Chains A and B, each alone.
Chain A
Amino acid sequence: MAEIDTSGGGHKKGPGVKKSKKLSTRVDLTPMVDLGFLLITFFVFTTTMSQATAMNMNEPKDDPDQQLKVKNSGAMTILLGKGNQVYYYFGQLEADKLSEEFKSTNFKDVRQLIVDKKKSTPIDDLMYIIKSDSTSTFANSIDILDEMSIAAVPPGHYAEVDITPAERMLIQQTELANGIK
C-alpha cells in the first residue's frame, strides 16, 4: 500500500532529496489582540458621552394688557448677580425692612429655598419671578430655569422679568458689603 509521509522531518526521504521544512500556519495572535484591545480602550476613553441636549424656552408676548397679577403671599423673586450670587425676597420689598427681606444665597442653597416655597404656598398663588442683572452670566439664567424644572415647578408659575433700577442698586450695595467682585 502506498504510504503518505506525514511526519515532520525526522528521517531522510532518500539520498539527494532535500526535504522542505513544513512551516506551521499558526500565527501568534497575541500582539494583534493586544493592539485590538488597545484601540478599543482608546476609543472608549476618547469619545465623549455627553450629547448636546435642547431645553425648551417659551417666551411670553409683551402685551401690557395681559399683565399678570401676582399675589404677594405667593411670590418669590429671585435675582441673579455677579459671581454666581443669587438674591431673593418674598412678596414685595418694603423700604423699612430692606435688610431683613433682601437676602443673598447661592445656587446650591437656592434649590432648597425654591422647594420650601413651593411646599408652603398653594399652587395657584405660587409664582417665581426671575430677574437677571446685566452682570450675571448666561449660564446663571439657564441654571435658574433648570432649578425650576428640578423643583418641578409647573410652567406658568415662573417668569423672567426685567430688573428694576431699585433692585439693581440693592444688589450693588449687597455686593459691596459682601465683597463680591
Chain B
Amino acid sequence: MPKVKIPRKSTNVDMTAMCDVAFLLLTFFILATKQKPPEVLAVTPPSSISSKAAPDKSILITFTQEGKVFLMLGDDTKKSDIIDNVNATRALGLSPGELAKLKKSEFIGLPFNQLKSALAAGREIPAGKMDGIPVDSTNNELADWLRSVTNVYAGEDQKKLEQMLLVKGDSKAMYPVFKKIKQALKKNEIYKFRIVTNGEDVPVGSEVYIESKK
C-alpha cells in the first residue's frame, strides 16, 4: 500500500499583519484617551445617574473632606478680569506683580487677609496647607468672589455662565459646607448651577429606567 505523505508545513506564521494591528490599536488608545489634568486637590465626588458630561472650561468650586473651599477660574478669557474685580471691590491692594502671580496660580484657596502676604512671600503654598476660602455666614468670602464673577459676566449670556458654574465636593464632606456654598451662590442670585458627580448606571427596573425604555 502506498503511504500517503502529509507534507510538512512550516509552523511559522507571518507576524507582520498582527504586529500592525497591535500597534495601530496601541496608537489609537494612546491618542484617544484624554489626559486627566493633575489634580492637586484629592476629592472623590459622589455618584449620580446623570449622564451629562461636565464641561472642561468651568468656574469650579471645590470643597474637600475637611471643609476647605477652593475656587478654580477655568475660563482664561475672564480670569484676569475677575481677579482685578475682586482686587478693586475688596480693596486688597495687590501690586501688579502680585496680581500677575495670582492670575497664574491654578486655584484660589486663601482668605483675603492672607492673600497679599502669601503672594509677596513668593513661595507657593501646597494645597494641603491652604486654609481655603472662608464661607462662614459672618465672613462669606466666596460670595465676594462670586460677586466679581457675576460682575464680569454681567453683559454676557447668562446661560453660558450657568453651564460653567460647577460645584465639586468630596462625598465625605459634611453637609453644612455644601449649604454655605449654596448660600454664597444664592447671595449673588445664582440659583442654577451644576454638581460634579461620577457617572453611574441607572438601576434596572427603576421608574426612570422604565421611562427611558418607552
Q: Does A pair with B?
A: yes
Chain A residues packing against B (C-beta within 8 Å): 28-30, 32-33, 36-37, 39-40, 43-44, 47, 50-62, 80, 111, 115, 118, 132-143, 145-146, 149-152
Establish whether residues A33 and B18, one from each chain, have CB atoms under 8 Å apart when the complex forms: yes
State whether the Cβ of B140 lies closer than 8 Å to any Cβ in chain A. Answer: no
Bound-state Cα–Cα, A51 to B197, Å = 9
B interface secondary structure, majority: mixed
Complex CA–CA separation, A152 to B208 (angstroms): 5
How would residues 147 to 190 of chain B score, 1 for a CB under 8 Å from any chain A CB and 0 otherwise? 00000000000000000001101111111111100100110000
Is B192 a contact of A56 with CB atoms below 8 Å? yes
A-B contact pairs, 21 of them (CB 8 A): A29-B16, A36-B22, A39-B26, A40-B26, A43-B26, A43-B33, A52-B45, A53-B197, A53-B198, A54-B50, A54-B196, A54-B197, A55-B196, A56-B50, A134-B176, A138-B63, A138-B178, A139-B46, A143-B46, A145-B48, A152-B206
Range, interface on chain B: 35 or more
Q: Given the interface contacts A33-B22, A54-B53, A142-B195, does A111 sit within 8 Å of B16 by beta carbon?
A: no
Known A-B contacts A37-B22, A43-B30; the reply to A53 vs B50 at CB < 8 A is yes
Q: How far is the CA of A147 from the CA of B166 in the complex (A)?
A: 21
Q: Which residue of B lies closest to A114 (CB)?
A: B207
B positions within 8 Å CB-CB of A:
15-16, 18-19, 22-23, 25-26, 29-30, 33, 45-55, 63, 166-167, 169-179, 182, 185-186, 191-200, 202-203, 206-208, 211
**Contacting pair A134 B174 (CB below 8 A):** yes
Query: Which 3 interchain pairs have the tightest Cβ spacing?
Result: A36-B22, A29-B15, A139-B171
Which residues of chain A are within 8 angstroms of B19 by Cβ–Cβ distance?
29, 32-33, 36
